[in-house]
Structure 1
Amino acid sequence: MPVLLKDHDSDLELRPGTTKSDIVVYLYQNPEWGYSPQEIKEALDIPRGTATTTLKRLHDDDYVGKTDDGYYYALSERDDIRRYLSSLNQVDRLFGHHRDADATPEEPETQLGAGRTDEELDAELAALEGELNE
């Protein structure tokens, strides 16, 4: 996938769909709040050890901040991460409905050709093809 060079930051090591990315996205979507590792574990449904280790690495790499009493938060000066989050949001708005796990197939009565026999559909198709060939 190509990248827009004016917004590209090769030092930003985040890949969508990873725990690291998920935690960063969660914190930066809620920048006014600080979260404990336990709260992030519960919000993202990840193992506690994974949450703790990933948060420590994110803090060490200056992706997130940490209060003296152990709450992690988004850093206001990280415009590169805000651009990353914005890009993810745009992709989700464009394509998110295509991967919706809770989406149900269309009801039979709303599907094209519903309620008609194969013979009726074949006859309608033949008539349409005939019109195109005229």
Structure 2
Amino acid sequence: MPVEFEDYRESSDSEEFDWTLREGSNAHTILAFLAAHPEQGFTPKEIHEATGVTRGSVGKTLQRLEDRQLVRHAEPYWAIGDDDRVGAYLGMLSSLETVTEREGTEDYAEWRDAANAER
């Protein structure tokens, strides 16, 4: 899906970047793979080969998952994180998806433009 590149770059560089586990995303794909093998650790190369996520994206995605405590890391291996933490995060996402289905999506660009107009 095409994005406004400058908006994306600015938002992804900020701490407020909305990074979620949408189905089909690299994060979702990697987390699902690791969750299917909870007792094992994998190298980024093994994760790439098993999931098809590009090698260049695996490391960055794993780091973001680790920042949210959804995976564990002991060089060079990565494994699924604490069950409670992963379960809570996935539960929150499920709730957000339900609200979105009922209420529709928000136009964040419209919110941003309105906030900038007030400055």
Structure of higher CA gyration radius: 1
1:12-27 residue pairs with structure 2 within 5 A? 13-27=20-34
Cα distance in structure 1, aligned partners of 2:57 and 2:19 = 20
Shift of 1:63: 1.3
Match of 1:57 in 2: 64
- Runs of 4+ that moved beyond 3 A: 81-84
The structure with the greater share of residues assigned to helix is: 2
Flag structure 1 segments of 5+ consecutive residues without an equivalent. Answer: 1-10, 88-134
Flag structure 2 segments of 5+ consecutive residues without an equivalent. Answer: 1-17, 95-119
Cα distance in structure 2, aligned partners of 1:13 and 1:82 = 10
Shift of 1:29: 1.2
Letter in 2 for 1:73: A
Shift of 1:52: 1.1
Cα distance in structure 1, aligned partners of 2:52 and 2:72 = 21
1:41-120 residue pairs with structure 2 within 5 A? 41-67=48-74, 69-76=75-82, 77-78=84-85, 79-80=87-88
**Total equivalences in the alignment:** 74
User: What is the TM-score when the length of structure 1 is the normalising length?
Assistant: 0.48
Match of 1:39 in 2: 46
Q: Percent identity?
A: 34
Q: Which of the pair has the greater relative contact order for Cα pairs under 8 Å at 6+ separation?
A: 1
